[in-house]
Amino acid sequence: MRVSLQKTFRFDAAHWLPSMPEGHKCRRLHGHSFVVDVVVEGEVPEEQGYLIDFGVIKAAFKPIEDALDHRCLNEIEGLENPTSEMIAKWIWDRLRPELGLLSEIRVHETCTSCCTYRGE
């Protein structure tokens, strides 16, 4: 049986987007309550009956949450231009070694705007 599991995390952070044109509202310092969906996918071992313990996903995400929550994202190495796309890839690059079953990262910047990253 093949399944996909999702665990959702939240963090609050400030950023500005230096790649936006002068005068664009996102070029100014502002903040978001980001929502991140971590999705893993794979075959459920019959003898186990589950793909992965959600606690394993939570533990793997904890250092990422600590690095991002209540921070200015532009000050974090690799996030000098912290668009949703760059945040999703940054999270993927740090989470993938811990979660081999990782299949996608979704970063919700607002309740109506989201980026999905599935690796290279």
DSSP secondary structure of the chain: -EEEEEEEEEEEEEE--TTSPTT-GGGS-EEEEEEEEEEEEEEPPTTT-SS--HHHHHHHHHHHHHHHTTEEGGGSTT-SS--HHHHHHHHHHHHTTT-TTEEEEEEEEETTEEEEE---
For 22, list phi and psi in degrees, rounded to 5: -50, 140
From residue 117, alpha-carbon distances to 21, 28, 77 in Å are 25, 25, 19
pTM of the model: 0.96
- To the nearest whole number, what is the mean pLDDT of the chain? 97
Q: Are 44 and 29 in contact (CB under 8 A)?
A: no
The string of pLDDT tens digits covering residues 59-117 is: 999 999 999 999 999 999 999 999 999 999 999 999 999 999 999 999 999 999 999 99
Averaged pLDDT, 24-51: 97
* pLDDT of 120 over the 90 cut: no
User: Taken in order 83, 89, 94, 98, is the CA torsion positive or negative?
Assistant: positive
* Positions marked catalytic: 26, 70, 109
Q: Which domains does the chain have, with CATH numbers?
A: 2-117 (3.30.479.10)
* Residue 40 pLDDT: 98
